[in-house]
Every structure is written in structure tokens, then in C-alpha cells.
Chain A
Amino acid sequence: MSQFAINVLFVGASFAIYIGIAIWAKAGSTKDFYVAGGGVHPVTNGMAIGADWMSAASFISMAGLIAAGGYANSTFLMGWTGGYVLLAMLLAPYLRKFGKFTVPEFIGDRFYSKTARMVAVVCLIVASVTYVIGQMAGAGVAFSRFLEVDATTGLIIAAVVVFFYSVLGGMKGITYTQVAQYIVLIIAYTIPAVFISLELTGNPLPPLGLFSDHSASGEPLLAKLNEVVTALGFNAYTAMVDNKLNMVLFTLSLMIGTAGLPHVIMRFFTVPKVADARWSAGWALVFIGLLYLTAPAVASMARLNLMTTIYPDMAGQVENYEEAAGNPIAYEERPEWIRTWEETGLITFEDKNNDGNIQFYNDTANFTERGWEGNELVVNNDILVLANPEIANLPGWVIGLIAAGGLAAALSTAAGLLLAISSAISHDLIKGAINPKISEKSELLTARISMSVAIVVATYLGANPPGFAAQVVALAFGIAAASLFPVLMMGIFSKRVNNKGAIAGMLSGLVFTLVYIFVYKGWFFIPGTNNLADTPDNWVLGISPLSIGAVGAIINFAVAYLVSNATEQPPQEIQDLVESVRYPKGAGGAIDH
């Protein structure tokens, strides 16, 4: 069987499962559509949160980022998991007790303000749209690489599948497909990792392999990796980071951004009890942890594999690294997987010194004494996970599995985001503001129409990504961290914060964060409109625009507190509402009002 046929088989079979689930889990009411009927088991929900959360970025890009940055990019590992601690303790159980369908609905009710609800709707839509474009584009890339269609065709196939189960089943269909998608993606991620870990360290568990000895050299894997990369002028893999303030703020922005993202919070509305919301956060992190504990192992092993492929003399015990690092392979002898990926343009080679060998090293290092005239091989970070099975010479079915896994990661996150967008439109905008008297049946229809429109828009933007699509971390996490997380938390933990405080807080956190990002990245991300170059020397106190969400959050808290204290107390019934969300007693299923 050809590799193409295997890929089609794996992807086709996984899609057939998703469609089967969609037919089985059709939504019959708005409660089914928005919160899957409210009866999802916490372990099931944990798994669905895992798939909802782990996007094309987690599956495809994260290991590549860590491989390239080493210790410095541990921020992604801690940031994208630590947010669940905040969710479990500060938001999820209370929002579940509140028992409504959407995040803006809580903000609108708690701060007795339609304006606050609409600000939340806008934040939700901007964050989720930015996020969903990346998922659709990721699905297109996976399709084009593994199924030999062009990216736009791939994107449309993916959109049709998502359309089928999310429009038909709403949250109910999405929940059960996400469970299936989690299983596909975790198997696809871990199997190649186990093989590579065995090959390099003899340990079948990648997270243990990461801290074991490298079989070929007898040295600890990470020590070996440090020696190999420093011999080529790169920073040591485990090197310390000097700018600790920025590292702390970036991690914090990712954590509170994670906790404030509506498509994740919504999943906690689907469980029957408050206690289940707490348990599902724990289970979610177990399922997420399986991938996040494997990723750093994949990162360091793939980096070592890549280096020793180009410099075979460095693979085993090395007497003289200087010498071994001076002897790369000839371009003509490059392995098959480099040839395959060259065709996609994600690996490029240029023989700068015309010696026919591949000099692959840190371009800022000076190796002219070795006769080198610049780095000749450019490897896109994103291919590390996708190319892993080929680099390790694994059988064809593993490659088919990776294709299905990458698509599962992209589609499950896209569906969650599309649901967040469509429920904000049908429930908060149309039912909440434009036509409160809408019947349940018409609202369900409206929700389905909004979902369809959202899919069409997301597909279009995925095929023609606007400039801001590359700014998911800055834009989606920045907005969630600076505007949504603080008001949600204050809404539960303070009875004193009132409508004026919340609106002022949200807007000041949001505006501050966006302005700081725009100053360095261009106004509305239009190239060339930035006021300062986006380099560390220009950043205020060394704080990168990607880390500013945490500062925006602090401003949000401070402004909300000051404005609330200078104005009147919230009415008694709002203070009673805050009381009621704090105690689990009396929680019913999520209800319509």
C-alpha cells in the first residue's frame, strides 16, 4: 500500500467516526446545543477539554518551539497548563453554579449591564476569530502535506466535516467528537515519541527518556545535546535566561489568558454538578499533561536527531567536538525525509560556499576558519513533529496516524471556538440584546445559522489569512488575560465591584494591552505602522508585547477596584447573586432564563 493510500485510510476512518458521532449526538434543544444537555461526565469532559484546548499549535508547533528555544521556551509548557489551576480554583466551579450558557451572559448579569456584556462579546469574538484562523490554516497545511491536495481544497474538506457535526450537534456533537479526537491525537503524538525515546535512550517513556542517558554516547541526553549545539554556535539547550521579568510575565500572561478563554470556560458548563467542574479541571490537565510531558522530550530528541543527521560524527562518543562539528554530510547524501520536506518549502538549502556539504549552524557564530560562509539549511520549526516518524524511520502507518492526529487537534479546537463565537452571537447578541422574546426553537435555528456563518467566515480567513492571524499569542491570550479573566474573577471574589468598575476595568486593560502590542507590531498589525522596532532594546523594562497581557490584567484589577470604590455599591440582589455562586448548594443544570 502506498503512503498516500495509508494516509487517506487513516484520515478517512477518523472522519467517518466524527460524522457517525454527529448523527448519534444530534442536538434537540438550545440546552443540548449550548451545554450538551448539561449531563457530561467529568472524565469525559476532561478529555473533551483536552482536545478543545490542544490545538494545531500544541500538536504541531509547540515541540518545534521548545526544540529551537530550549529552556527559554518552557514558558509555553508552564503557561498553557498552569492556567488550569486558576480555572479549577478561581472560575470554573462558580461559573458552573451560576448555571447559564455563555461567558458574556455571566458578565452581563453579574455587572447588571448590557454594555459590559457587549464588551465581553467583542473581546470573545476577536480572541476566538484570531484563534480559529490558525486552526483552519493548520488543517489546510496538514491536508496538503499528507493527502496531496492543495491547501484550500484541504481547508474546505475540513470545514465541511466540522460543519456537519457542529451545526447538527452543537456542544453535544462537539463534546463526543472531541473525545474521539483526543484519543486519535494522543495516540498519534505518543507512539512516535516512544519509538524515538527507545532508540535514543532505551527508555520507552519519553518524559523519563528526557532525563536519561543517551545510549550512543553514554552521556546524559541533555548534556549531550548541549555539547552538540554549542559546538555549532547555538545557545546551550538548558542555558539560563537573563530577562527573568519578561519570562515571568510571559508565563503569567499565558496562564491567565488560558483561564480567561471563553471556549475553554464554556466546557465547564456541560457537567451536572459544581464538584464535577472541579474534577473535570483535574482530568483535563491529566489528559493535557500526557501531551505536554511528552512534548519537551520530543523537542530535545528531535533536535539531537536533526543535528546528528547532518553531522554523523557527533552521534556517538566524541573526542573532539570542534573536529566532529566541522564535518557535515554532503547535500547529495541527504536522507529521504529532507527531500520530501524540501518539496513543501519547509526545508530549504542553499550552498553558500559551494562545497556540496550542508553547513547547518547558528548564523551569528563565526566559523570562517572552517571555510563556512553562512548557515545553509533552514528548517521550519513546525515540521519537527510531523517529520518525526520519517526522521526515526518509523513504518508508514505511523505517518498516517500523525496526519489524522494533526487534523484531530486542529478540528477539535476549531469546533470549540466556533461554538463560542456562534453562541455569543445567537445567545448574547440576538437573544440578549436584539430580540429577547425569541422562542427556543427559533433560537436553536439562529444558533445553527450563526454557526454556519462562522464556519464560512473562518474558512475564508483560513484560506486568506489576514496579518493578525499570526498573532494568536499576543491577541487572543492578551485579550483574554487583560479583559476577561480579571472581571470574571472579581465578579466572584468581590461583592463590591460594580457595573462602572467592571466596564472601566475591562476597557482600560484591553486598550492598554492593545496599544502596547500595536506600538511594536504595527497598528492593527498593518506592516510598517509600528512606532518602535519590536526588539528587546526598545521594550519598556524589557517586557515583550507578548507578555503585556499580565500587566493589562493588573491594570484592569486596579481600575475596577478604584472606580467601584468611588461609586455606589452594587444592588442587594447582585450581592445575593455573588453569594449564591460561592456555594454549591442548590445548583441545578445549566438553565435558560
Chain B
Amino acid sequence: MAEDKSNAEAYWKANLRLITGCLIVWALVSYGFAILLRPLLSGIPVGGTDLGFWFAQQGSILTFIALIFFYAWKMNRLDKQFGLGE
């Protein structure tokens, strides 16, 4: 039981670490590159405009899709590794 408990706690901590990492990327591409950091990135040209505009209208959506699949794949591995899957 005690072992079960520490195993479950380790699983939850690993999940929280993974979520934190993913949400940092999530915030960086949308609030960062697309909005707040856009002036800094304005020197990088993309098809007639700049990198920030690309992130605002395309890059962030593509990153979001990749993030969810990465998270789902990683969590499936964690489920198995900790023996907590269905």
C-alpha cells in the first residue's frame, strides 16, 4: 500500500512536470512569439511579413496540435511505466 502510494505520487509528479513543460511552450508561442515578443522578432521575415505574424495566424495552432499529441503519447507511456493505465 505504501509502495502503491509513493508510486502514484511519482506518477502524478511526472504528469505535473510534463504539463508544466507543455504549457510553457503553449504560452511561449502564443503570448510570447505572437504577441509580446513580436517586436523583437520583427527582423525575421516570413512571406511578406514577420515571424510574429506567422505565429499569430498559423504557427501557434500547429504547435498546439503537436503539443497535445506529444502529451497524449508521453502520458500513455507514463501510464504503462507506473502500471496505472487502464
Contacts and interface: CB of A to CB of B under 8 A. Distances in A.
Interface in B38-79: 38-39, 42, 46-50, 53-54, 56-58, 60-62, 64-65, 67-69, 71-72, 75-76, 79
A365 interface: no
Interface string A306-346: 00000000000000000000000000000000000000000
A494 to B, nearest CB: 12
Contact of B61 (A81, A89, A210, A248): A81
B32 to A, nearest CB: 10
B78 to A, nearest CB: 10
B61 A77 contact: yes
B64 A222 contact: no
Interface stretch (A118-126, A277-285, A436-444): A277-285
A207 B58 contact: yes
B56 A210 contact: no
B53 A584 contact: no
Contact of A89 (B22, B46, B54, B57): B22
Interface in A53-86: 66, 71, 74, 77-78, 81-82, 84-85
Interface stretch (A289-297, A355-363, A375-383, A499-507): A289-297
A583 interface: yes
Interface in A186-237: 207, 210-213, 219-224, 226
A31 interface: no
Given A211-B48, A248-B31, A275 B58 contact: no
Interface residues of A, number: 53
B86 A240 contact: no
Contact of A211 (B30, B54, B79, B84): B54
A286 B47 contact: no
Contacts of A292: 61
A370 interface: no
B84 A251 contact: no
Nearest to B38: A240
Contact of B30 (A240, A251, A279): A251
A585 interface: yes
Contacts of A586: 86
B49 A282 contact: no
Contacts of A221: 47-48
Given A71-B56, A222-B48, A248-B31, A584 B36 contact: no
B57 A81 contact: no
Greatest chain A CB density within 10 A among B15, B54, B62, B64 is at: B64
A78 B68 contact: no
Interface in A251-301: 251-252, 273-275, 278-279, 281-282, 285-286, 289, 292-293, 296
Contact of A78 (B56, B72, B75): B56
Contacts of B19: 89-90
A93 B84 CA distance: 14
B56 A77 contact: yes
Contact of A84 (B12, B15, B22, B64): B64
A247 B30 CA distance: 11
A587 interface: yes
A584 B86 contact: yes
B9 to A, nearest CB: 10
Nearest to B72: A278
Interface in A74-114: 74, 77-78, 81-82, 84-85, 88-90, 93
Interface in B1-17: 8, 11-12, 15
A77 B68 contact: no
Contacts of B64: 81-82, 84-85, 285, 289
Given A211-B46, A222-B49, A248-B36, A296 B8 contact: no
A78 B49 CA distance: 18
A352 to B, nearest CB: 34
Smallest CB-CB A-B distances: 6 pairs: A220-B48, A211-B47, A74-B56, A278-B72, A223-B48, A222-B48
Interface of A: 66, 71, 74, 77-78, 81-82, 84-85, 88-90, 93, 207, 210-213, 219-224, 226, 238, 240-241, 244, 247-248, 251-252, 273-275, 278-279, 281-282, 285-286, 289, 292-293, 296, 579, 582-587
28 contacts: A66-B57, A74-B57, A77-B56, A77-B57, A81-B64, A82-B26, A82-B64, A88-B68, A88-B71, A88-B72, A89-B71, A210-B47, A211-B49, A211-B54, A211-B58, A220-B49, A221-B47, A221-B48, A238-B49, A247-B35, A248-B35, A282-B65, A285-B64, A285-B65, A286-B65, A289-B65, A293-B61, A582-B12
Interface of B: 8, 11-12, 15, 19, 22-23, 26, 30-31, 34-36, 38-39, 42, 46-50, 53-54, 56-58, 60-62, 64-65, 67-69, 71-72, 75-76, 79, 83-86
